[in-house]
């Protein structure tokens, strides 16, 4: 490496590397400002478009109900709001919602925890897993709500039968997702940490759990509406309280607005539960590569 300095005739250009000039720094600042402004603009636009969409949809419903569609069957947003506020003020809505919420949340926690724990437990008992695997697949194929009527017989018409239905629905999704996530773990990663001295528990905690987490969180996400289905179906079949009961009750009285008001309450609950899952996802999956924003200097 002693050629530098010798005037190579092949060299066309040779330049010194200098630090960025003031103008170039100013250019960087300008890019930062523009990007921040563009991001803010985009956020504003997105929120605005959502508001417009919401009011357009609700407004259309309000306008069409009456002149075009028979409001007897589809009601009207304005009536639904009146009905919902009336039910909330009278205490009826809160009373019924608490049962549905307790059923759904209990089913959610028991089902997801059970599914995830069982999924991991089977790691330690591979022979048991091999034994029951086809049966799980078969059972997974049964629509779980087919068992709901039996659950009413077994657990009574109180909240425990609804919790049982919700639990059953949620359990399998999480169990199957967890085992799928564990099976997707990279062999190489496990080998590397094993040679580093990791035991079975450490492998589970440090490699298999984080690696399966995207699957597990996907399971947690689809479980939100699932547990609500369990609770509502249970209530439809037999109950004297809960949002499901309210809907059946409204239906028998041809009170469409009241039925929609009850459904609106479910919507609120599900949106809140989804918010919690989204928070978990942000918190635990932030290591995952994001979309194409941000800088990716390569090459």
Partner 1 sequence: MNPASNSSDMPVVESRGVYKIYPGRIERTGKAFTALRGIDLSIRKGEFVTLVGPSGCGKSTFLNMVAGLIDITEGDLLYKGGGIQGVNTDVAYVTQADNLLPWRNLLGNVELAMELKGFSLSESRERAKRYIQMVGLEGFEEFYPHELSGGMQKRVGIARTLAWEPDTILMDEPFGPLDAQTRTLMQDELLKLWEHREQTTLFITHDLIESIVLSDRIVVLSRAPGQIVSMYEVPIPRPRDVFHIHEVEGFQDLYNALWNDLKREITADRMESKDRNSSE
Task: Please compute, for residue 120, the number of CA atoms within 13 A of its CA located in the half-sphere on the CB side.
Answer: 20
CB nearer to partner 1: pick between 70 and 188:
188
Judged by CB under 8 A, the stretch of 28-36, 87-95, 153-161, 165-173 that binds partner 1 is 28-36
> Applying CB under 8 A, which of residues 22, 32, 55, 126 lies at the interface with partner 1?
32
Q: Answer yes or no whether residue 253 interacts with partner 1 by CB under 8 A.
A: no
Q: Answer yes or no whether residue 289 interacts with partner 1 by CB under 8 A.
A: no
Nearest distance in Å: CB 11, partner 1: 5
Q: Answer yes or no whether residue 42 interacts with partner 1 by CB under 8 A.
A: no
Q: Answer yes or no whether residue 195 interacts with partner 1 by CB under 8 A.
A: no
Q: Answer yes or no whether residue 252 interacts with partner 1 by CB under 8 A.
A: no
Cα–Cα distance measured from residue 191 to residue 197, given in angstroms and rounded to the nearest whole number: 10
Q: Answer yes or no whether residue 41 interacts with partner 1 by CB under 8 A.
A: no
Q: Answer yes or no whether residue 283 interacts with partner 1 by CB under 8 A.
A: no
Q: Answer yes or no whether residue 146 interacts with partner 1 by CB under 8 A.
A: no
The answer for 242, left when phi > 0, alpha when psi is -120 to 50, beta otherwise, is left
Cα–Cα distance measured from residue 245 to residue 145, given in angstroms and rounded to the nearest whole number: 17
Q: Answer yes or no whether residue 7 interacts with partner 1 by CB under 8 A.
A: no
Q: Residue 281: CB partners within 8 Å, gap ≥ 6?
A: 217, 221
How many C-beta atoms lie closer than 10 Å to residue 104's C-beta? Answer: 31
Nearest distance in Å: CB 44, partner 1: 14
Q: Answer yes or no whether residue 27 interacts with partner 1 by CB under 8 A.
A: yes
H helix or E strand, kind and range, residue 3: none
Q: Answer yes or no whether residue 188 interacts with partner 1 by CB under 8 A.
A: no
Assigned token pair, 185: 């773990």
Assigned token pair, 21: 């000039």
CA-based nearest residue to 75, from 58, 87, 89, 88: 58
Cα–Cα distance measured from residue 37 to residue 77, given in angstroms and rounded to the nearest whole number: 37
Tokens 């779980």 — which residue? Answer: 144
- Cα distance from N-terminal residue to C-terminal residue, the chain: 25
CB nearer to partner 1: pick between 255 and 281:
281
Q: Answer yes or no whether residue 1 interacts with partner 1 by CB under 8 A.
A: yes
Residue 69 has phi, psi (to 5 degrees) of -110, 145
> Applying CB under 8 A, which of residues 84, 224, 265, 298 lies at the interface with partner 1?
298
Nearest distance in Å: CB 246, partner 1: 42
| Rounded (10°) angle between helices 159-183 and 126-141 | 120
Q: Answer yes or no whether residue 26 interacts with partner 1 by CB under 8 A.
A: no
Burial 264-283 (b: 16+ CB within 10 A, else e): bbbeebeeebeeebeeebee
Cα–Cα distance measured from residue 148 to residue 230, given in angstroms and rounded to the nearest whole number: 8
Q: Answer yes or no whether residue 288 interacts with partner 1 by CB under 8 A.
A: no
CB nearer to partner 1: pick between 31 and 268:
31
Q: Answer yes or no whether residue 285 interacts with partner 1 by CB under 8 A.
A: no
Judged by CB under 8 A, the stretch of 22-30, 89-97, 100-108, 178-186 that binds partner 1 is 22-30
Nearest distance in Å: CB 7, partner 1: 11
The site for partner 1 (CB under 8 A) is made up of 1-4, 8-15, 17, 20, 24, 27-29, 31-32, 34-36, 39, 293-295, 297-299
């Amino acid at each position: 490496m002693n050629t530098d300095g010798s005037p190579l005739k092949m060299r066309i250009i040779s330049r010194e590397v200098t630090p960025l000039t003031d103008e170039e720094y100013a250019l960087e600042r300008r890019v930062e400002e523009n990007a921040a402004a563009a991001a803010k603009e985009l956020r504003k636009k997105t929120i605005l478009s959502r508001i417009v969409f919401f009011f357009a949809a609700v407004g259309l419903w309000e306008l069409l109900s009456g002149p075009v569609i028979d409001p007897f069957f589809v009601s009207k947003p304005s009536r639904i709001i009146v009905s919902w506020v009336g039910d909330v003020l009278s205490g009826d809505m809160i009373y019924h919602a608490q049962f549905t919420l307790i059923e759904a949340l209990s089913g959610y926690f028991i089902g997801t925890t059970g599914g995830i724990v069982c999924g991991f437990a089977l790691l330690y008992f591979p022979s048991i897993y091999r034994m029951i695997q086809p049966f799980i697949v078969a059972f997974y194929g049964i629509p779980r709500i087919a068992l709901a009527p039996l659950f009413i017989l077994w657990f009574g018409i109180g909240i425990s039968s609804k919790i049982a239905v919700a639990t059953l629905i949620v359990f399998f999704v999480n169990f199957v997702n967890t085992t799928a996530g564990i099976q997707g773990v990279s062999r190489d990663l496990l080998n590397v940490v094993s040679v580093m001295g990791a035991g079975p528990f450490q492998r589970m905690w440090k490699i298999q759990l984080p690696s399966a987490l995207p699957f597990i969180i996907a399971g947690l996400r689809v479980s939100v509406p699932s547990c609500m289905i369990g609770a509502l179906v249970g209530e439809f079949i037999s109950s004297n309280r809960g949002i499901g009961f309210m809907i059946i009750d409204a239906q028998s009285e041809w009170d469409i607005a009241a039925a929609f008001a009850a459904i609106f309450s479910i919507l609120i609950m599900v949106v809140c539960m989804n918010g919690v899952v989204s928070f978990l996802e942000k918190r635990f999956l932030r290591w995952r590569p994001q979309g194409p924003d941000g800088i990716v200097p390569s090459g």
